[in-house]
Amino acid sequence: MTDVSAAVRTSESAALDGQGCAASIEVHREQGQRQAFCGLAGIVWLHRKIQDAFFLVIGSRTCAHLLQSAAGVMIFAEPRFATAILGDRDLAGLADCNEELDRVVTELLARRPDIGTLFLVGSCPSEVIKLDLENAAQRLARAQQGRVRVLAYSGSGLDTTFTQGEDTCLSALVPEMPGRHDGAHALLVLGTLPDVVEDQFRRLFDAMGIPSLAFLPPRRASELPAVGPGTRLLAAQPFVGETAAALVDRGASLIEAPYPFGVEGTRAWFHAAGAAFDIPADRIEEAIAPAAARAERGLARYRDELAGKRISFLPDSQLEIPLGRFLQRECGMELTEIGVPYLDRRMLAPELELLPADVRLTEGQDLERQLDRLRADRPDLTVCGLGLANPLEAEGLTTKWSIELVFSPVHGFDQAADLAELFVRPLNRRQRLAL
């Protein structure tokens, strides 16, 4: 998806205003043509995670094609997403879209009685689709008389970037979460994780002695965790800032920590969680030491292949800063440029402190200017979206799809070597093709 605005570029010195991040980093802010997926792509991993939910996109045939292309074909099970396609009369405001939406939802729920939560996902602002989905969700929820929870959120590419669609989805769940009024301490891990990673994290938190643990999103929307003044919030993804703010408004306190990518980031993440519950550092280290040692041995296989290589990140997934930190500090790569769609200082301050002071950090995108810099830099590897990968490969640049880093299990100790291998593969492919 491409969004075009006035090509205006500004640059500010990045003393990131008391946010605890490296005061010497300069942040270059850009506006202009962007190349990124829209927030609808988040449905691809959300529908797999929340097993009793269904995502009904209200949009055009283009939106339906996007989901089909991104999610692939489900052979052995019905997918938990679909598109209610708007026609020309709908978009022109000549038809009553509410009546048609009610009919589609009624048929869907009759066919799929297993649905516990129905998300109405707007592909465009309400002015474009001629529907107020918030009001529609409330009306449909009343009609279901509590049998199905109906919520609405925006996945519009005009409002959200690629991974930001998850943030708007989880924000819609926050008002539905029960309150915690007993003041008991509990840890809430925020951000979608593959089940295998969630299980690994749960075992380590249990070994540390965390008194109560929950994940948002849960595997079933009917099992939303409670939130209140005793809740300690630990983000597993850097793109859930709006949800984190909503949870803080409900009494939770945010734990500042790097993200669990690689050995260093994962160790710091667990230690930050343990410190929030006054767990001694030696007990935390005892719990995580075996997994950290395995991760170190696994990473050693790939360091020589990555050390000294130069890498650039074009803005796409919001994972660029923590992944850049991992590759530079633990794999010995040189950061040529890190681009992010937007810079959420509250969510990324601990990561920014770990970046080298001379890194070129850009927020937003002016695509043509960024491509000019990329061609001048000629890095060994460029991490970018699908729409740019093939053209850059044709110019002789080696690329890595950023979307694969979102879809793959890459968090935690046991995935550290797998994460490094994802960056080794395209370098090896280029070498084999050269032979």
Which parts are annotated binding residues? 38, 63, 124
pLDDT tens digits for range 72-92: 644 445 678 888 876 555 444
- In this prediction the pTM is 0.89
- Topology annotation, domain 39-160: Rossmann fold (3.40.50)
pLDDT given at position 18: 34
Q: Where are the domains of the chain?
A: 2-36+291-434, 39-160, 186-278
| Alpha carbons within 13 A on the beta-carbon side of 399 | 21
Q: Around Cβ 356, how many Cβ atoms within 10 Å?
A: 14
pLDDT given at position 79: 75
pLDDT given at position 71: 64
Give yes or no on whether 39-160 and 186-278 have one common fold: yes
Q: What is the CATH number of domain 186-278?
A: 3.40.50.1980
Which parts are annotated binding residues for [4Fe-4S] cluster? 38, 63, 124
pLDDT given at position 257: 97
Distance of CA 330 to the CA centre of its chain: 22
Average pLDDT value for the chain: 87
Q: In the chain, what is the straight-line distance between the N-terminal and C-terminal CA atoms, in Å?
A: 35
pLDDT given at position 384: 94
Produce one character per residue of 75-102: b if its CB has 16 or more CB atoms within 10 Å, e if not: eeeebbbbbbbbeeebeeeeeebeebbe
404: nearest Cα among 323, 292, 342:
323
Return averaged pLDDT per consecutive 10 residues of the chain, 435 residues in all.
Answer: 27 33 74 79 91 89 72 60 69 63 91 94 72 89 91 84 93 96 92 97 98 96 95 97 98 97 98 97 98 97 96 96 98 97 95 95 93 97 92 95 92 98 94 76
pLDDT tens digits for range 349-402: 999 999 999 999 999 989 999 999 999 999 999 999 888 999 999 999 999 999
pLDDT given at position 390: 92
The contacts of residue 18 (CB under 8 Å, 6+ apart) are: none
Sign of CA dihedral 155, 159, 164, 167: negative
Sheet-wide strand order for 231-235? 213-216, 186-190, 231-235, 253-254
pLDDT given at position 96: 65
Residue 57's beta-bridge partner residues? 83, 121
Asked if residue 153 lies in contact with residue 198, where contact means CB atoms within 8 angstroms, the answer is: no
- Topology annotation, domain 2-36+291-434: Rossmann fold (3.40.50)
Q: Around Cβ 110, how many Cβ atoms within 10 Å?
A: 8
Compute the C-alpha angle 295/297/298, nearest 5°.
65
| Alpha carbons within 13 A on the beta-carbon side of 337 | 26
pLDDT given at position 169: 96
Pairwise CA distance, residues 103 & 285, whole Å:
56
